[in-house]
Structure 1
Amino acid sequence: MLFVLSPAKRLDFAEAPTDVPTTRHRFEDDVRSLSVTARRQTQAELRRLMGISDDLAKLNQQRFKAFDPASDEGLQAVLAFAGDVYQGLDARSLSGADLNWAQDRLRILSGLYGLLRPLDRIQPYRLEMGTRLKTRRGAGLYDFWGDRISKQLNADAEGHADPTLINLASQEYFGAVDARALKLPVVTCHFRESAKNGGGETRIISFFAKKARGAMARFAVENRIERADGLKDFAVDGYAFDKAGSTNSDWIFIR
């Protein structure tokens, strides 16, 4: 069983524990090509492409100019991202054994790196998967990555007791997984909040849903869950599996 998460816009490059190993990202030629294209963008072009402020555009232009895809420097991906999902995961409090287990089962989709393992080193960057950055492969990053991510997921699931892919990513990022090339069954998890009036209505609140995605990944890591059905026992922060509202491919958790 594999899990996929989205990355985060916020980064935390505070020093990592010294006993946590690092690995090298696996799409070096693709990352090099993409980083060269990004480096050529002006500050104004980055601002327009990413829909960000002048200050953020300047920061990201500086990051791309300093980016070295062959560098051995950087921080483990699962420790470097610091958004809502990663608050729920809280990877810095996981044990070394937990992180090693996660290395074989947790994946992070990335606009720049394609598909990351938890311990893959990354450098500071921002490049959303939906960015329409033109490359020699097409009009945006979905075209750039094509079927590469799906093929890597297929390979990563080989030998697993249950080859199911658990989708804990956003629509924007999971859109980079080519459904035609993917050979794995997919289960997408949804986290909903009950209405305060007790009328049985539920809704998705983005912050809580993102945090719950990270918490589910942590639940799987700490409990060494090898098969998808084990996730139905997820009860962190008051969530419970809604059997009646779920289908084979879409699992609902409500609190």
Structure 2
Amino acid sequence: MIVLLPPSETKRDGGDGPPLRFDALGFPELDPVRRRLADEVVALAADRPACRAALGISAAQDGEIDRNAAVPTAPTMPAISRYTGVLYDALDVESLRGATAVRARARLMVGSALFGLLRADDEIPAYRLSAGSKLPGAPTMAARWKPALEPVLADLSRRELIVDLRSGAYAALGRVPGAVDVDVVSERPDGTRTVVSHFNKAHKGRLARALVTSRAEPDDAGKVAAIARRAGMTVERDGNALLVVIPA
């Protein structure tokens, strides 16, 4: 089983790994797109107004532009440690030890606008690029990634069950055939439901932790739901779609 996570806009600084090596990342089929995008974000960093517009940031966030300028030379750290925020706090992979940590890292992967698909331990620098970023004169991220990423994800899904926790924008970079998709809703006492927005990430992080630490090897959505329920979550299943229900 693979648990496919979204990235986060927030990322840890620093790292003690060597500068980025594309040839050390998983899924070398993605290297041509990775290298082109990296070259473009580095070049764009020299034009701060254009970079702000492309990345959707303000002048107060120019540190993000500095990160992009340093992508080829900055220190790296494992992807699963680089990303931060609500989902990653709930996942809390750094607290895992021993065989559980090894199993979790083997099961976790991250979708990325810059790198396409990353293994948990792929060493990457800090950067700023999202699925919705529009680099000047270039196609959308989805248009650039789909031809390269979808064959990789399809091949992976033939070998492993994939639980796709990515947001819609990142899922659009490359669809996964047969994936277990997950949504989160809150239910009021009267039974009405609303889609959860911000805390959606926390519950997906909880689910990811339950899945990657389980000794079970689920091979369908029903078994994924069973792991979630054993972790105390309320889950409904409709084919390959799971709905996590939380009280409002």
> How high is the TM-score relative to the length of structure 1?
0.81
CA distance in 2: counterparts of 1:158 and 1:74, whole angstroms: 31
Q: Which position in structure 2 is the counterpart of 1:20?
A: none
**SS at structure 1 position matched to 2:35:** helix
Identify the match of residue 47 of structure 1 among 49, 52, 55: 52
CA-atom RMSD in angstroms: 2.4
Write out aligned runs for 1:78-227 (5 A): 78-134=80-136, 138-159=138-159, 163-177=160-174, 179=175, 182=176, 184-195=177-188, 198-227=189-218
Cα gap change, 1:150 to 1:98, in 2 (>3 Å) = farther
CA distance in 2: counterparts of 1:165 and 1:134, whole angstroms: 33
Post-superposition Cα deviations, 1:116-169, rounded to whole Å, max 9, x if no partner, equal 11111110111001212246xx5121122123222222333454xxx3321111
**SS at structure 1 position matched to 2:7:** coil
Cα gap change, 1:230 to 1:249, in 2 (>3 Å) = closer
**CA shift for structure 1 position 173:** 0.5
CA contact (8 A) 2:3 2:212 kept: no
Flag as ranges the 4+ runs of structure 1 deviating above 6 A: none
Percent of paired sites with the same residue: 23
Cα gap change, 1:211 to 1:202, in 2 (>3 Å) = same
**CA shift for structure 1 position 206:** 1.8
CA contact (8 A) 1:215 1:236 kept: no
CA distance in 2: counterparts of 1:93 and 1:6, whole angstroms: 20
Structure 2 gap segments, 5+ residues each? 17-22
Structure 1 gap segments, 5+ residues each? 17-22
> How high is the TM-score relative to the length of structure 2?
0.83
Q: Which position in structure 1 is the counterpart of 2:69?
A: 65
Question: One-letter code of the match for 2:52?
Answer: R
**CA shift for structure 1 position 211:** 0.9
Question: One-letter code of the match for 2:168?
Answer: Q
Q: Which position in structure 2 is the counterpart of 1:36?
A: 39
CA contact (8 A) 1:225 1:231 kept: no
Question: One-letter code of the match for 2:70?
Answer: A
CA distance in 1: counterparts of 2:116 and 2:231, whole angstroms: 31
